[in-house]
Amino acid sequence: MKTRIYTSFEETIEDFPDGASLMVFCWGVSGTPQNLLHALKQKAVKDLTLITHNVVPASVGKSVLWDVVTPFMLADQVKKLVTAWPGMSYLGMESPMERRIREGKTELELVSHGILVERIRAGGAGIGGFYSPAGIGTVVERGKEKRVLDDGREYLLEKPLTADFGFIRAHRADKLGNLVYRGGGRGCNPVMATACRTVIAEVDEIVEVGELDAETIITPGIYVNRLVQVPERGLGSARHRRELLSRFPTQGQKS
């Protein structure tokens, strides 16, 4: 299906209903589709199933960047959470998401990072499930088929994951939806892009077809349904990143 180019984040998620499932990656500022998440927050979509690696605010070292939009901000909208890192207990505080989990308002399916990403890959690749050694003898083996395979090791049967919507953050796109990423911002984005019925990518720049080097494309446009360019002053834009960095010292200064 042809990739559609939008100019408004609100419009790209106009058909996002209550109760839908969403996959989104977040590694602090990096790889996080902040504008799409912000639009979803504004739209106040309810009863989400959220599939994401970490539910923590963006941080650098011990400095929390509260004004960076991450899945952490969606806590009130989430009915079911699939994640490897639900909260902030490592900072010695209970997050809004952890409170909801404790109060029974959000159901938690706890997984390891590696199993989460592989389940998403299976979902995107038409694989019906796979056996993995991670999690044997731990809380995550509950309810899963366990078997000893030919190498004599125990494995757990893991099921594929897909979602209704995937929010993707890439560096550049061409008008066919081919994507390239930047640094660690690649993360789980290319994997999630394969496993969602509607994939929406926000990118720093949309260029003409032919301007991206075909050898470097990580996500072919076949996976990408909607594209939107982050505006000059948008969340996660080069300008926004410079503003965030300007809070920290440059060469030799003390903060």
Q: Is 136 helix (H, G, I), strand (E, B) or coil?
A: coil
Q: Contact at 8 Å (CB) between 255 and 248?
A: yes
Q: Kindly provide the b/e burial profile for residues 117-147, where b requires at least 16 CB atoms within 10 angstroms of the residue's own CB.
A: bbbbbbbbeeeeebbbebbeeeebeeebeee
List, in order, residues 6 or more apart from 110 with CB less than 8 Å away. Answer: 83, 84, 86, 139, 140
Closer to other proteins at the Cβ: 231 or 237?
A: 237
Q: Could you tell me the smallest distance in angstroms from the CB atom of residue 218 to other proteins?
A: 7
Q: Contact at 8 Å (CB) between 167 and 22?
A: yes
Closer to other proteins at the Cβ: 120 or 200?
A: 120
Binding flag, residue 85, other proteins (CB under 8 A): yes
Binding flag, residue 27, other proteins (CB under 8 A): yes
Binding flag, residue 28, other proteins (CB under 8 A): yes
Binding flag, residue 81, other proteins (CB under 8 A): no
Q: Contact at 8 Å (CB) between 56 and 28?
A: no
Q: Contact at 8 Å (CB) between 45 and 78?
A: no
Structure token pair of residue 18 = 């209550």
Binding flag, residue 126, other proteins (CB under 8 A): no
Count how many Cα atoms sit within 13 Å of the Cα of residue 101 in the half-sphere of its side chain.
19
Closer to other proteins at the Cβ: 136 or 222?
A: 136
Q: Could you tell me the smallest distance in angstroms from the CB atom of residue 5 to other proteins?
A: 24
Query: Which of the residues 203 through 222 are near other proteins (CB under 8 A)?
Result: 218
Query: Which of the residues 141 through 170 are near other proteins (CB under 8 A)?
Result: none
Residue from 108, 203, 206, 224 binding other proteins (CB under 8 A): 108
Closer to other proteins at the Cβ: 11 or 247?
A: 247
Q: Considering only 11-19, 36-44, 185-193, 208-216, which stretch makes contact with other proteins by CB under 8 A?
A: 185-193
Q: Contact at 8 Å (CB) between 173 and 201?
A: yes
Binding flag, residue 35, other proteins (CB under 8 A): no
Binding site for other proteins (CB under 8 A): 25, 27-31, 53-54, 58-61, 84-87, 89-90, 94, 98, 101-102, 108, 110-115, 117-118, 120-121, 132-140, 181-191, 218, 241, 244-255
